[in-house]
Structure formats: C-alpha cells, structure tokens
Amino acid sequence: MKKRSSSKSLRLALAQLSVGDDKEANINKAISFITKAKEKGADIITLPECFNSPYGTDHFPKYAETIPKGETCIALADAAKRNEIYVIGGTIPEKDGDKYYNTCTVWNPKGELVAKHRKVHLFDIDIKDKITFRESDILSPGETLNTFEVKNCKIGLGICYDIRFEEMAKLYRKQGCSMLIYPAAFNMTTGPLHWSLLQRSRANDNQLYVACVSPARAGGPGYIAWGHTMLTSPWGEVLAELDAIEDMIVKDIDLKVIDEVRSQIPIFNQRRKDLYDTLWLKS
C-alpha cells in the first residue's frame, strides 16, 4: 500500500465504472474498486452516478432500494469499514415511501452513513434532434445542501445537473467547503460541450477543487455517458482526466493550494454584498 497523504493533503480516488443490467455485478465491481483504491493509499473514493443501475427513468423503480437498509448500502458500508476508507457511493435510485430519488450516500471508515444528498436539480432537457430526458417523470428533487469532512477538508455534494447551478456551488463555498464532488453522467451531446467547462467554472468561481465522476461509456441503446471523469484545481486547471473506458484516478489533493489561490486573488472579500449576495432560503 502506498504511503498515506499528510494532514495538509488527502488522497482521492475517482472510479469510472462500467455499468450493466446486473445489479449484483455492478455492486461487486464497485466493491473491487474500493479495495483497489485502498491498496493505492486513498483516503476517499468516489463512485459514479447511478453505478448500480442503468441510467434511465424506466430503470429507476426496478433498481431502487431504501437507504440505509438496501443491499447496495449494506455492501458499501461493509466495504468502507473493511478497507477503512471514506466511500462516496456515487448515486443509486432511492425509494422512500411512494417517492423515488437520485441519491448519493457517504460512508466513513467505520461503515457509518455520514451524509446523504438527494439530487436537487432534476435533469429535464429537450435538445432538438439530439436528446430529450425528464427525470421528473419519476424522481422527486432533494431539498438540502449536504457536506462532510475528511482530514480537515470540507466537501460539498452535488449530483450531475446540480453543477449547472452556480448559486449552489457558491453556497457551499460560503459554508467553508474546499472541494465539491459531483457523481455525474453527462451525455454525448452535453458532455463534449459543457463537461469540462462547468467543472473549471465552478472551481475557478469558488477557488476550490471540483471532481466529477462518470460511468464509463457503454455501447448499444439507451443513455450513453460521456465518461471523462475529471479533477480540477482551485486555479481552474485540469489535474487529471480519464477517457471513456473503465479506469480510476488516484491523486493527492494539496489543501494548501486553496489558501494560496484565495489569498492571491481575494474575490470573496471583494464581492459587493451591498449590491448582491447568494442566499439559501430553505429554513
């Protein structure tokens, strides 16, 4: 196992997984990557959006489970505890009563659920002759922002379409976040246009690290993910990017860079809050 990162850094793993129709196989693959991340000395691993299920409104009810007692959660909790690692469990379709959500869970090295984020902004788009998709046909939106901490690094959670809403990222910065992580599955239309642009924008706007973790690209019918799992620095620099196939990034995150950027370009102290501000209105 590689040497652990210092208190001023943490080692982050981003797993770009191939996802098929077999839920058990999808879960087992995720567990194998959690083990590989630990072997590489990672403090935390992030899985992709909808890693236990094909992505699509017709699939969500079939693959949905309760949190934290569903089979996927039980497997993630066990893997986190066994490997003594933080696990951001990508997302899974969640069933809660008669509602469904696209939900990210976070497990600490004791196997405890420490955060749960339901996708706030549902993916409803209609690009002529390209792609039409409506998550709201089956899913309900989340109502909260959610954070947790690993080795003095406060991390804000979003899911895919959430990254398009800069106010949400700004609120996380105001809450003291040093990193934003978005399990995400952009498509073959929006991926080439906006995937890198949005991540670099959120990182640059808020002077923090941003990671987006996609499923690997699959062939055949149905929703096709862009892939290109990516990590961006507080300078807006792309530190690592995968192609479209199944693979994993393992990278040390230097937390000192955040203070350097924010002191050298102090935009948050220069904001004209007498003229404008970004507010969370939910009580």
Give the model's pLDDT for residue 221. 65
- Of 273, 47, 46, 44, which Cα lies nearest the Cα of 170? 273
Identify whether 119 is a catalytic site residue.
Answer: yes
Marked catalytic residue, from 23, 29, 49, 177: 49
DSSP-assigned letter for residue 116: E
Cα separation, 222 vs 19, whole angstroms: 12
- Of 32, 47, 34, which Cα lies nearest the Cα of 213? 47
Give the model's pLDDT for residue 230. 98
Cα separation, 266 vs 13, whole angstroms: 30
Q: What is the CA radius of gyration of the chain?
A: 18
Marked catalytic residue, from 50, 73, 104, 160: 160
Give the model's pLDDT for residue 282. 82
Residues of the chain with pLDDT under 70: 1-7, 220-221, 283
pTM of the model: 0.95
Task: Determine how many CB atoms are found less than 10 A away from the CB of residue 266.
Answer: 11
User: Could you state, in order of their start, the residue ranges of all structural domains in the chain?
Assistant: 10-269
Structure tokens at 125: 């788009």
Give the model's pLDDT for residue 5. 46
| CATH 3.90.1310.10 is right for the domain spanning 10-269 | no
Identify whether 160 is a catalytic site residue.
Answer: yes
Give the model's pLDDT for residue 1. 57
Give the model's pLDDT for residue 220. 65
Task: Determine how many CB atoms are found less than 10 A away from the CB of residue 40.
Answer: 14
Marked catalytic residue, from 23, 29, 116, 119: 119
